[in-house]
Structure 1
Amino acid sequence: MKRKIIVLFIVCCIFAMLTGCCVTQSQDDLLVSQTESTNLSVSGEDDDQIKLCVYVCGAVKSPGVYTLKKGARIYEAVELAGGLTGKAQQDGINLAEEVTDGQMVVVPVKEKTEKSEAVSENTADGKVNINSATKEELMTLSGIGEAKAQAIITYREENGLFSAVEDLVNVSGIADGTLNKIKDSIKVN
């Protein structure tokens, strides 16, 4: 009988050990499963915190590389770059577009065609309007180089518009001889 009790005791111990190992194993599996689930949740939260680097250049006040959150728009990148300059062509870029990592955002400058349109207005009748002409337009006149053209513009900015063609002699460096050469090529409006 003593032998039966010992055998029964050994069988119970073996059963208890096997049951304990299975329970411990399932707890380990559960712990690993919970850890993986937590890691997936954390990485899902990281998607909202992903940082994107964007290079903003062109007609902005402070061109450079800026860091934005995922889902940011181009207008946010432009704001970080100090905003648009007066020379920016606003309709040349989609400010509502979502930025991507490594993107180069180029804000275009207003095209030179606006200047050429102004040139044609100033010289439509073949005469240069000395009240609105650019330095380049003034330099097309006989005897007017870069220095004299700049002197005309400076005089105009400091003293106001010319009221008559003859007022041009008030500009430093422009004498009666120069005025007589260009008199038929200029106008004031």
Structure 2
Amino acid sequence: MKFFRPIFAAALSLVPVLADDKPKLPEGPGKATTEKVCGSCHGVGIFVNRRESREGWNGIIEDMIHRGMKGEDEEFGEVSDYLTQFLSKSTPGGKVNVNQGSAKAMVSALGIPEADATAIVKYRVANGKFNSLEDVLKVPGINAAALEKQKEKIDY
């Protein structure tokens, strides 16, 4: 039984990291309604890095209503306003923290190959936190040019 205690303790230590890994919507009016209405069928990760115009978001909302999305007209309007304000084509894309984010989050936010994102995570686990883009570029085998193009989307 003593053998399992260290394993169990190690597994529990990962819970906060895994919980922080989920994509999050920006704070603002309408966030709770958007999470409620859209989150009843799928997580926000499906659209948190997407950028659309008001017409684009309204088209998606209309499509979701036809697919069975539940809510009141006022809620749909609030969701549209929220998405247009915080996830429009004019707002910057989501950022990812390379010291906390998963490979999947990096692929989504940075548009890099999964192999590069996995290499970043493995390097971080083995060598510790990154403090700058220069630190990330030390990861063997990654496409440095692709990361440099996305440097505005990287947090540390």
What is the TM-score normalised by the length of structure 2?
0.41
Task: Return the index of the structure with the highest Cα Rg.
Answer: 1
Which structure has greater strand proportion?
Answer: 1
Of structures 1 and 2, the one scoring higher in RCO (CA 8 A, sep 6+) is 2
What is the TM-score normalised by the length of structure 1?
0.35
